[in-house]
């Protein structure tokens, strides 16, 4: 309380309160009013003394109100002094001063109530913190004394830690909280669990913002993406870090008054977190970092690696060795646990991989070697290793969309077109703790094999393992060649050899915003999958692409803030084996002018692209450019207002998916020309008001998905002529509540309808005629997993 004494001083407090009480005795003309004021002042003086005798220094808000109270007491002394000089006959002044005294009394009462409440909260915070410290001390003592803790120990400790963090976070005093631990100890997992806590979600509602920071953060990108994540636009283009900080404050103000929780995950620089701090009520920040930053000393929680006992328990639990009947010698188990250094990730991964398998015997095994043993699979699952290594083709800390993996694996390993086996492999990787598969929308993935929104995430340690494993052979002999280029720092082997021969089947090249496009020439005739990742406003396909005679899959992704203009598209005309193209966050100004005939192309996917003008002023028929195209996926392309008529001439098209395109308002009648169409999706096209009657001509259509098309108010009159329709998803079509057309009784092959509860009652009447029909009421699945990642969201206005 030295700061309080320095700011106020006992003399000031005493003079302010006692001085008022002294003059009230002389102002007898206002006796009844002053009696109430005297009571208020005595109470206020008691509050001041209580603050003065607090064990710790109170927070700034309480100090500010204390200063305000003292100022009001000084005013009171002056006002009462004037009252004592008012003549008994001066009724006007008596009325005026009476009114001022009443206002002053009300102001003092209000301030005192607020301060009493804050003092109570402050004391509660101190009590909770004392209890937490005591709990932590008891836990430490239990571990040190080797007392029995419920199995698995690590889970109990983590649950206690989560409770501790939650308690701290919900206290009013805590605005900035650091969770620190070495890499691999589970910091990210812990805060993710915290975000799923019902009390945390109830407090912060939709204002829980998760930002992956990593080693080289770009503040401009982070702030831009925070705006986009909330569907907002900055007031001006962010061109510098100073602009970014100004816009960040405006962003926080815009999404108030609801409480805000910002999580900065994997922060490497203490100075970065300072840029996110503002003295704004109900705004809290959690920082996770490998470094225990000094200025976080007051509210810092250190998540330490597990001790020997806890590590052993977690490993045995992960490897299913609780019954102690194992063919793994205890001596070897201890060496593995010791080699993992108490890191929960390593313990879980290695333990899970050994479950039910013959164990390897080795005297001294390092952590990297142990992790590599994870990639030893039985013969019937050896293919999973290839799937794991393929995840390394994509950038660090980014979502890996299942659709991209399905494209790759369908061509590389001849998996099914629908992606069922690919998803099964991803689920196997999840089971082995080698990746995390997120099925974004249950009604889509489970009902009719729609995986466009599903994605995979991977821990940095595991990604490093994949990169390490892929780089064991010499450059010219690798199956997967993965290059991450920072600025213009090309690999030495690329700079030294003008015509480097690459024998890899998979090639991934990632560049940052400072790369100047000085491509060197390489020869990669055996590459079947090319993954290009970049962060520039303009991107030129490398010249050496046209020599990739075996190329089957091209994936081009812009991870920058704005859409990028893609050029050199004509190079693809020489690639006679190219079957699949996936473009993300690029602008295609006039596809018809630059696109050359791609006679082998079967599938094209456009994600978050600007394509509104791509098919304008075409001098060549789209069907001539893409004569054998069977599948088109257009997702999150927000400048698409009308479906281009030219696409309706691609007669071999079997699947057309246009999803999350919120400005799509009209479909051409010519869509009825797509007579080979089997799947038609318009999921979450919120402006689409109707389906054209011409869809009755799609007599091969088996799946129709109009879920969450909230503007559609009626079904086509002749929908019953879709004689092979088996699945109809109409969940979330809130305006589609009137009677259905009579022709639905002709949908004799209809097997499944997915809809909301009210609509299900309408379909129940049709089940007498449609004997194969099952009506499934869509479960409420409240999550935002289907939204693009914060680091992927673009400025759709650019």
Tell me, what CATH number does 780's domain have?
A: 3.80.10.10
Count of CB atoms situated within 10 Å of the CB of 195: 16
Helix (H, G, I), strand (E, B) or coil at 400: strand
Is 474 a member of any domain?
no
In a domain, 234, yes or no: yes
Q: Which pLDDT band, with edges at 50, 70 and 90, does 580 fall under?
A: very high
Please tell me which of 341-350, 368-377, 431-440, 659-668 the model is most confident about, judged by mean pLDDT. Answer: 659-668
User: What pLDDT score was predicted for residue 21?
Assistant: 44
Q: What are phi and psi of 618, to 5 degrees?
A: -75, 135
Most confident of 203-212, 313-322, 365-374: 203-212
173-187, 282-296, 498-512, 523-537: lowest mean pLDDT where?
173-187
Mean pLDDT computed over 607-617: 78
Final residue before a domain boundary, out of 253, 278, 302: 302
DSSP 669: G
Q: How confident is the model at residue 774 (pLDDT cuts 50, 70, 90)?
A: very high
CA pair distance 777, 760, nearest whole angstrom? 7
pLDDT the model gives residue 113: 67
pLDDT(47) > 80: no
Condensed to tens digits (0 to 9), the pLDDT of residues 327-339 reads 667 777 777 777 6
Q: What is the largest CA-CA distance in the chain?
A: 109
Where does the pLDDT of residue 499 fall: very low under 50, low under 70, confident under 90, or very high at 90 and above?
low
Q: Minimum mean pLDDT among 250-254, 293-297, 596-600, 665-669: which range?
A: 293-297
- Res. 356: pLDDT tops 70: no
Residue-range definition of the domain harbouring residue 152? 148-302
- The two tokens of residue 74 are 């000084």
Residue of 747 and 427 predicted with greater confidence = 747
CATH number of the domain residue 256 falls in: 3.40.50.300
Q: Of 302, 327, 349, which residue constitutes the final position of a domain?
A: 302
Q: Do the domain assignments include residue 77?
A: yes
Say what percent of the chain tops pLDDT 90: 20
Domain co-membership, 166 together with 232: yes
* Choice between 79 and 748, residue whose per-residue pLDDT is larger: 748
Distance CA 623, CA 436 (A): 39
Task: Give the chain's mean pLDDT.
Answer: 76
**pLDDT range class, residue 568, cuts 50, 70, 90:** confident
Of 144-153, 560-569, 582-591, the least confident? 144-153
CB atoms within 10 A of CB 71: 12
Q: Which range, of 422-436, 447-461, 701-715, averages the lowest pLDDT? A: 447-461
Q: What is the DSSP string of 610-634?
A: B-TTTTTT-SS-HHHHSTT--EEEE
pLDDT surpassing 50 at residue 22: no
Indicate if 660 and 790 belong to the same structural domain: yes
- Whether 198 and 95 share a structural domain: no
DSSP 696: G
In the chain, the number of structural domains is: 3
Alpha-carbon distance of 680 to 698, in angstroms, equals 10
Domain assignment present for 74: yes
Pair (81, 224) in one structural domain: no
78 and 213 inside one domain: no
Same domain, 790 and 661: yes
Ramachandran class of 457: left when φ > 0, alpha when ψ lies in -120 to 50, beta otherwise: beta
pLDDT number for residue 357: 53
CA-nearest of 377, 379, 188, 187 to 301 is: 187
Q: Is the pLDDT of residue 261 over 70?
A: yes
Whether residue 671 is found in the same domain as residue 785 = yes
d(CA 698, CA 136): 67
Q: How far is CA 32 from CA 25, 37, 413, in A?
A: 12, 9, 93
Q: Are 620 and 646 in contact (CB under 8 A)?
A: no
pLDDT score at 208: 87
Query: Do 179 and 217 have their domain in common?
Result: yes
124 lies in the same domain as 164:
no
pLDDT band at 9 (very low <50, low <70, confident <90, very high): very low
Q: Which of 3-7, 279-283, 392-396 has the highest mean pLDDT?
A: 392-396
Instruction: Let me know if residue 406 belongs to a domain.
Output: no
- The domain boundary residue, chosen from 78, 101, 132: 132
Same domain, yes or no: 119 and 226: no
Average pLDDT over residues 527-532: 95
pLDDT at position 528 is 96
Residues 540 and 568: their CA atoms lie apart, in Å, by 6
Strand partners for 529? 506, 553
- As given in the structure block, the two tokens for residue 193 are 């669990």
Domain identity same for 156 and 126: no
Asked whether residue 755 is domain-assigned, the answer is yes
CB neighbourhood size of 522 (10 A):
22
pLDDT score at 453: 82
Return the pLDDT at 698: 95
d(CA 796, CA 798): 5
Q: Which of 619, 623, 660 is CA-nearest to residue 638?
A: 660
- 345, pLDDT greater than 50: yes
User: Where residue 780 falls among pLDDT bands split at 50, 70, 90?
Assistant: low
Kindly state whether residue 353 falls inside one of the protein's structural domains: no
Band of residue 296 on the pLDDT scale cut at 50, 70, 90: confident
Structure confidence by residue, pLDDT tens digits, 698-721: 999 999 999 989 899 889 999 999
Within 157-259, strands assigned E span: 176-180, 208-214
Cis peptide before 250 (omega within 30 of 0): no
A 10 A CB-CB count for 250 gives: 13
Q: What is the predicted pLDDT for the residue at 476?
A: 82
Q: How far apart are CA 277 and CA 318, in angstroms?
A: 40
Alpha carbon 616 to chain centroid distance?
Answer: 35
pTM of structure? 0.65
User: How do residues 592-609 score in pLDDT, each as one tens digit?
Assistant: 555 678 889 999 999 999
Rg, the chain, Cα only: 33
Same domain flag for 153 and 297: yes
pLDDT value at position 498?
57
Quick one: pLDDT at residue 4? 32
**Does residue 199 have a pLDDT over 80?**
yes
């Amino acid at each position: 309380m030295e700061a309080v004494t320095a700011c106020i001083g006992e003399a000031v407090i005493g003079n302010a309160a006692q001085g008022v009480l002294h003059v009230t005795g002389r102002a007898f003309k206002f006796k009844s009013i002053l009696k109430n004021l005297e009571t208020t002042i005595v109470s206020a003086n008691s509050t001041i003394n209580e603050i003065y005798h607090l064990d710790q220094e109170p927070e700034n808000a309480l100090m500010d109100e204390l200063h305000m109270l003292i100022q009001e007491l000084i005013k009171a002394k002056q006002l009462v002094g004037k009252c004592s000089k008012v003549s008994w006959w001066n009724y006007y002044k008596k009325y005026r001063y009476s009114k001022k005294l009443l206002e002053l009394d009300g102001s003092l009462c209000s301030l005192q109530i607020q301060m009493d409440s804050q003092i109570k909260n402050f004391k509660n915070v101190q009590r909770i913190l004392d209890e937490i410290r005591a709990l932590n001390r008891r836990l430490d003592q239990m571990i040190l004394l080797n007392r029995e803790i419920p199995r698995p120990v690590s889970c109990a400790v983590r649950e206690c830690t989560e409770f501790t963090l939650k308690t701290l976070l919900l206290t009013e005093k805590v605005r900035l909280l650091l969770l620190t631990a070495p890499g691999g100890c589970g910091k990210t997992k812990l805060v993710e669990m915290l975000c799923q806590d019902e009390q945390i979600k109830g407090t912060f509602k939709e204002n829980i913002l998760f930002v992956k920071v990593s080693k080289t953060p770009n503040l401009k990108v982070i702030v831009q993406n925070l705006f986009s994540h909330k569907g907002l636009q900055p007031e001006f283009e962010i061109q510098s870090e100073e602009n970014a900080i100004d816009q960040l404050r405006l962003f926080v103000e815009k999404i108030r008054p609801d409480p805000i929780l910002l999580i900065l995950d994997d922060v490497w620089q203490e100075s970065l977190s300072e840029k996110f701090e503002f003295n704004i009520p109900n705004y809290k920040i959690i920082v996770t970092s490998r470094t225990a930053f000094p200025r976080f000393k007051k509210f810092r929680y250190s998540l330490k690696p597990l001790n020997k006992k806890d590590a052993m328990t977690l490993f045995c639990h992960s490897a299913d060795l609780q019954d102690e009947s194992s063919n793994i010698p205890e001596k070897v188990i201890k060496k593995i646990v010791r080699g993992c250094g108490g890191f929960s990730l390593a313990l879980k991964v290695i333990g899970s991989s050994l479950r039910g398998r013959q164990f390897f015997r080795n005297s001294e095994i390092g952590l990297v070697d142990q992790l590599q043993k994870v990639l030893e699979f039985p013969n019937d699952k050896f293919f999973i290793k290839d799937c794991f290594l393929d995840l390394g083709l994509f950038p660090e800390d980014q979502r890996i969309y299942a659709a991209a993996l399905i494209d790759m694996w369908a061509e590389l390993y001849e998996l099914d077109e629908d992606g069922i086996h690919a998803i099964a492999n991803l689920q196997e990787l999840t089971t082995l703790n080698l990746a995390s598969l997120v099925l974004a929308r249950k009604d889509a993935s489970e009902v009719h094999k729609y995986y466009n929104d599903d994605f995979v995430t991977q821990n940095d340690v595991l990604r490093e393992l994949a990169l390490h494993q892929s780089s064991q052979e010499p450059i010219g002999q690798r199956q997967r060649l993965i290059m991450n280029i920072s600025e213009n720092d090309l690999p030495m082997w690329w700079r030294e050899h003008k015509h480097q021969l690459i024998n890899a089947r998979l090639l991934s090249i990632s560049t940052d915003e400072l790369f100047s496009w000085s491509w060197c020439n390489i020869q990669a005739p055996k590459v079947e999958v090319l993954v290009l990742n970049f962060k520039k406003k303009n991107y030129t396909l490398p010249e050496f692409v046209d020599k990739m005679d075996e190329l089957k899959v091209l994936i081009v992704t812009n991870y920058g803030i704005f859409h990028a203009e893609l050029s050199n598209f004509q190079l693809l005309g020489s690639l006679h084996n190219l079957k699949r193209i996936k473009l993300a966050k690029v602008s295609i100004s006039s596809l018809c002018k630059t696109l050359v005939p791609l006679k082998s192309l079967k599938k094209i996917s456009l994600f978050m692209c600007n394509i509104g003008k791509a098919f304008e002023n075409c001098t060549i028929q789209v069907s001539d450019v893409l004569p054998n195209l069977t599948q088109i996926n257009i997702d999150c392309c927000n400048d698409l207002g009308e479906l281009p008529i030219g696409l309706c001439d691609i007669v071999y098209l079997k699947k057309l998916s246009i999803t999350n395109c919120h400005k799509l308002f009209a479909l051409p009648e010519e869509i009825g020309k797509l007579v080979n169409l089997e799947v038609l999706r318009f999921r979450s096209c919120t402006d689409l008001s109707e389906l054209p009657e011409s869809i009755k001509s799609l007599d091969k259509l088996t799946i129709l998905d109009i879920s969450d098309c909230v503007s559609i108010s009626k079904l086509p009159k002749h929908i019953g002529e879709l004689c092979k329709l088996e699945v109809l998803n109409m969940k979330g079509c809130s305006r589609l509540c009137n009677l259905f057309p009579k022709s639905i009784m002709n949908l004799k092959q209809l097997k499944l309808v997915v809809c909301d509860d009210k609509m299900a009652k309408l379909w129940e009447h049709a089940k007498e005629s449609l004997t194969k029909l099952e009506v499934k009421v869509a479960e409420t699945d409240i999550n935002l997993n289907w939204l693009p990642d914060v680091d992927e969201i673009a400025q759709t206005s650019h």
